[in-house]
Amino acid sequence: MPFVDLKTQYRALKPRIQENINRVLDHGQYIMGPEVGELEEKLAAYTGSKHCITVASGTEALLISLMALGVGPGDEVITTPFTFVATAEVIVLIGAVPVYVDVEPDTCNINTTQIEAKITARTKAIIPVSLYGQPADMDEINAIAARHGNIPVIEDAAQSFGATYKGRKSCNLSSIGCTSFFPSKPLGCYGDGGAIFTNEDNIAQACREIRSHGQSQRYVHTRIGVGGRMDTLQCAVVLAKLERFDWEVEQRIAIGNRYNALLDEARVKRVQQRADRTSVFAQYTLFAPRREVVQKKLSDAGIPTAVHYPVPLNEQPAYRHLCCPDCTPVAQQLARQVMSLPMGPDLTDEQQRKILNELCA
Ligand SMILES: *Cc1c(COP(=O)(O)O)cnc(C)c1O
């Protein structure tokens, strides 16, 4: 049993994926070919955002967003330590300081009641993460940001494309939304890819220029940029996968809910979902106080597991000295307990039953 089953998905979509790839090979516009704009239009429509700018990865999406906002040395960016390293990495890369806010013990998302206390005159952005595919409490975060001079809010939606919050789509819940098309994300390509979403024309324009070396016209570089485009082949793959995506989201929700019911029945502690949002369950995560033992038991039965994430970012060797390594006790405790089970739209009832049987054996 794979942790994320990409092969079954490929078999289901093979003719369309190959057709799309062949079309790119035939026209030969590997960079900024027609599929790039086509995908951007479809993704913007899907999320309801005015603009979508595809980029080379989810990490690049976050980096370009911060650059577009003009965040730089001496600035502070509020975020969560309980996330993939990229969230804090981009903050440090542009010379700003990550300021960590602890997470909620049940959702593992940023604890909005603790954000305000961390805002200073140097706070230039807030980056909540919609962890495991469930949006953070974005309206509450937007309200706090508005009270403090409209601090831009960047949703790290790398895991939550397709999720909803109060009926609205993740990626279109704040000033900027960033997602990733890393193969194992809910909407993945066959390499690296990502996208930025915004309703603000000036931010969109800045992101478009920055992803392509700060060019406003060919060989006119009006700002410092990066080589951050998503290539046409990867856009063609995502276009093919979009055709099955609504079904996949429904499957993910049904399978996630089934895990919830089975684990609740077995009295296993798990990540909770709020009633006003849907999660796309990028990971299905539970709390296992004796994690190593449980992982070994499942592994012996041929069931892979993973840990997202074993160390909060403020305790990582390269990050410890930057900001308060011990200021987020909840994240610290969760990092020792979280464990993710196989998850994906093609996970069968039979596989789920086997997983639960082994877990509770
Ligand atoms: C995957 C991920 C990223 C980075 O995306 P890449 O496409 O791998 O660069 C950033 N943040 C979070 C929360 C992620 O899960």
CA neighbours closer than 13 Å in the CB half-sphere of residue 52: 26
Q: Is 84 in the pocket of ligand 1 (CB under 6 A)?
A: yes
Reported confidence tier of residue 361, pLDDT bands at 50, 70, 90: confident
- Residues composing the chain: 361
| Domains of the chain, each with CATH number or no CATH | 6-101+111-238 (3.40.640.10), 245-360 (3.90.1150.10)
As given in the structure block, the two tokens for residue 114 are 């603790």
Which residue among 180, 190, 192 is best mutated to probe the pocket of ligand 1, counting the most ligand atoms within 8 A of its Cβ? 180
Percent of the chain with pLDDT over 90: 98
Q: Give the model's pLDDT for residue 23.
A: 98
Dihedral pair phi/psi, residue 37, rounded to 5°: -65, -35
Amino acid at 45: A
Q: Is 178 in the pocket of ligand 1 (CB under 6 A)?
A: no
| Helix 34-47 × helix 232-242 angle, to 10° | 40
User: Is residue 40's pLDDT more than 90?
Assistant: yes
Q: Give the model's pLDDT for residue 326.
A: 77
Reported confidence tier of residue 172, pLDDT bands at 50, 70, 90: very high
Interval between CA 194 and ligand 1 midpoint (Å) = 9
As given in the structure block, the two tokens for residue 50 are 């005015």
Contact between 84 and 59 under an 8 Å Cβ cutoff? The reply is no
Mean pLDDT score, 129-157 = 98
Reported confidence tier of residue 44, pLDDT bands at 50, 70, 90: very high
Smallest CA-to-CA distance from 232 within 57, 54, 65 is with 54
Q: Tens of pLDDT along 261-276?
A: 999 999 999 999 999 9
Mean pLDDT score, 18-43 = 98
User: Is residue 323's pLDDT more than 90?
Assistant: no
User: Is residue 42's pLDDT more than 80?
Assistant: yes
Atom of ligand 1 nearest to the CA of 181: 7
User: Is residue 325's pLDDT more than 80?
Assistant: no
Task: Please state, in angstroms and rounded to a whole number, the distance separating the CA atoms of residues 13 and 7.
Answer: 10
Q: Is 192 in the pocket of ligand 1 (CB under 6 A)?
A: yes
Interval between CA 84 and ligand 1 midpoint (Å) = 6
Interval between CA 87 and ligand 1 midpoint (Å) = 7
Mean pLDDT score, 315-343 = 93
